[in-house]
Structure 1
Amino acid sequence: MSGFTYRKSSYSDPEAECVEIATNIPTTIAIRDSKNPCGPTLRIRPTTWTAFETALCEGKLSPLR
């Protein structure tokens, strides 16, 4: 699926590696690695993204180690 418009978080360092997210397609949230923009993307439903954001805000997710 083409047409995704990716953006970095405003908290990201412009020179650092991070993930980018596209939310402009109503049925799909796309996530990719900023250092490999032509590489694979993770595509999820908007409801899944909302649940992820909620869990982050509520402190229900622990950091990866």
Structure 2
Amino acid sequence: MISDILSRANWRTSSKTQANGSCVELATDGQEWVAVRDSKKPDAGVLVVEARTFHFFLRSVKDSGVQA
């Protein structure tokens, strides 16, 4: 089921993507999940996590001061 949704997903690349394409891409259903994949190898696999878990991760990175 999720693979069908992901095959039609609108993948986004970060605005901070390097010129060499080294970045991740994200897709979401807008409420329940966020999918992450390697922009250079989109067929290599996808990590899908709950949206609230992903948002917690992002908030933790921002709060830590780590430069992405």
Smaller-chain TM-score bracket = 0.7 to 0.9
The answer for the alignment partner of 1:20 in structure 2 is 25
Unaligned runs of 5+ in 1: none
The corresponding residue for 2:52 is 47
Identity of aligned residues (%): 28
Unaligned regions of 5+ residues in structure 2, if any?
A: none
Deviation at 1:16, TM superposition (A): 2.2
Of the candidates 38, 49, 62, which is equivalent to residue 57 of structure 1?
Answer: 62
Give the root-mean-square deviation of aligned CA atoms: 2.0
Superposed structure 1 runs of 4+ greater than 4 Å apart: none
**TM-score (norm: length of structure 1):** 0.77
The number of residue pairs the alignment matches comes to 61
Whole-Å separation in 1 of the counterparts to 2:37 and 2:17: 14
Q: Which has the higher strand share?
A: 1
